[in-house]
Amino acid sequence: MAKSKNTEQKIFDAATELFLEKGVDRTSVREIANKAGINLALMNYYFRSKENLFDAIFTMLVKKNTRKLIKILDSDLGLEEKIRKYVEAYIDMLTENPLLVSFVMAIVHRSQERITQMKAISSLYSTPKFAQQVFDESKKGHIKPTSPTQLFVDMLSLITFPFAIKLLIMDKTSYDEAHFQAFMEERKQRIPDLLLLSIKKHEE
Amino acid sequence: MAKSKNTEQKIFDAATELFLEKGVDRTSVREIANKAGINLALMNYYFRSKENLFDAIFTMLVKKNTRKLIKILDSDLGLEEKIRKYVEAYIDMLTENPLLVSFVMAIVHRSQERITQMKAISSLYSTPKFAQQVFDESKKGHIKPTSPTQLFVDMLSLITFPFAIKLLIMDKTSYDEAHFQAFMEERKQRIPDLLLLSIKKHEE
DNA sequence: GTCTATACGGCGATAGAC
DNA sequence: GTCTATCGCCGTATAGAC
């Protein structure tokens, strides 16, 4: 038990990096073992299978990176401030983890088979409090009649998708990383403005 | 040469179906050969490798499905009508090919290695005429000052991303296919409205 | 706990007979 | 053109030394 936690962590970290970079299916377990500096047999000692290891990593990545976002959605902030904070925090998170979007998108493709991850991702998008808030504001007449789901999908799309096509956006600017970051920085204001414009009653 | 065209097509069609359903990396060449009703070696006789076959299929899918969309973007329609037609045609196309989005997203993840597809996808999003149009209208003062790239990314995100998270949206409605189609049908109006609201000067 | 060694069936790819 | 047979690598598993 001496260095056990350490070795397990080394495998975990090496696999995380490779999965994010190359995708799960294009990463071999021998490659993980090699990168972690350990033997192939240890891979199977700690995690029974590659799929098992992937499950653990996926769960960790989702939990680690969405805590803050869910907290904002479930807070008691007003709708406008909530949307602004959520968009900013989400873009910040994805800027720090730019590979996360395409990683998750790749998983979604095969999630019809794997119910575990489906539920994990689904919880990410289950936002009863936000939906209720939109519904209430809508009913009270504070905002235009608005479908909470449509609004939430709008918001998610506008935040997330640009990271998925990051390379295509950068293609127009000679793959300048700084330019992409400026592009996303601009969207921190643009996206809330766009969404609020669509739900506010008088925009004068 | 007798049945050659036929066999090649059988391989091509079987592979297309499997790639879209399961993803490239999770489809084996033996599975393709089996589905096509031919021998494994013939796979390699017609297409030198699985990756080669994939390239051919990818190019075909992109060309086949984007012709109409590019035509709309390059047309002489006014900005509002152009946006409305583009959104509708794009959603119609993806409704008919619901697996296309996650397939393309999965490819984007590994496109850093493969420049061929990068350029193919990139051309999809290269829209000089649309950009010029937005720029001109912006300069003439017909619309608010608007970044063409930001506007185009907004539009693409709002159209495309919901298909990528289709299963998560359906999760809320007991996986009712009809409900998702109604959801996307609603977006044919919602998305142009949202975009136009953000660029029009007086929305009264 | 960590290692070497070895084995299994499935994979992408190919050489060579017909 | 089509096939069989084979190659080396893959994910997974296990036996056994230290």
Mean pLDDT of the region B5-11: 90
Does the fold of domain A55-199 match that of domain A1-48?
no
Partner A contacted by B172 (CB < 8 A): yes
* Nearest-by-CA chain B residue for A101: B109
Residue A74 pLDDT > 70: yes
Q: Which two tokens stand for residue A27?
A: 């990463």
Does A34 contact chain B (CB < 8 Å)?
A: no
Out of B25, B126, B147, whose CB is closest to A25? Answer: B25
Q: Dihedrals φ, ψ of B200, to 5°?
A: -70, 145
CB B180 within 8 A of CB B166: yes
A173 — pLDDT class (breaks 50, 70, 90): confident
Average pLDDT (A157-174) is 89
**Who wins on pLDDT, A179 or B104?**
A179
In A, minimum Cα distance to B19 occurs at: A109
User: For residue B197, what are the contacts with CB-CB under 8 A and spacing of at least 6?
Assistant: A197, A198, B203
Tokens linked to B42: 């013939």
CA angle A30, A36, A42 (to 5 degrees): 65
pLDDT classification of B5: cutoffs 50, 70, 90? low
* pLDDT average, residue stretch A4-8: 76
CATH class belonging to B1-48: mainly alpha
What pLDDT score does A145 carry? 97
3-state SS class at A200: strand
CB contact under 8 A, A165 and B110: no
pLDDT (mean) for B56-81: 94
Q: In angstroms, how far is D7 C1' from B112 CA?
A: 30
Does the CB of A108 have a partner CB in chain B at under 8 Å? yes
Q: Band of the pLDDT at A106, cuts 50, 70, 90?
A: confident
Torsion over CA: A197, A100, A50, B55 (sign): positive
Q: What is the pTM of this model?
A: 0.94
Q: Best interface-test mutation with A: which of B108, B117, B123 has the largest number of A CBs within 10 A?
A: B108
User: For the residues B166-182, what does the mean pLDDT come to?
Assistant: 86
Domains of chain B, residue spans? 1-48, 55-199
CATH code for residues B55-199: 1.10.357.10
A157 CB near a chain B CB, below 8 Å?
yes
The amino acid at residue A24 is: V
- CA angle, corner A175, sides to B199 and A32, nearest 5? 120
Q: Return the closest nucleotide (C1') to the Cα of B43.
A: C13
Residue range B88-93: mean pLDDT, rounded = 98
Contact B162 A157 (CB under 8 A): yes
The CA-CA-CA angle for residues B8, B10, B13, to 5°, reads: 110
Q: Secondary structure of chain B in the HEC alphabet?
A: CCCHHHHHHHHHHHHHHHHHHHCCCCCCHHHHHHHHCCCHHHHHHHCCCHHHHHHHHHHHHHHHHHHHHHHHHCCCCCHHHHHHHHHHHHHHHHHHCCCHHHHHHHHHHCCCCCHHHHHHHHHHCCCHHHHHHHHHHHHHCCECCCCHHHHHHHHHHHHHHHHHCHHHHHHCCCCCHHHHHHHHHHHHHHHHHHHHHHHECCCC
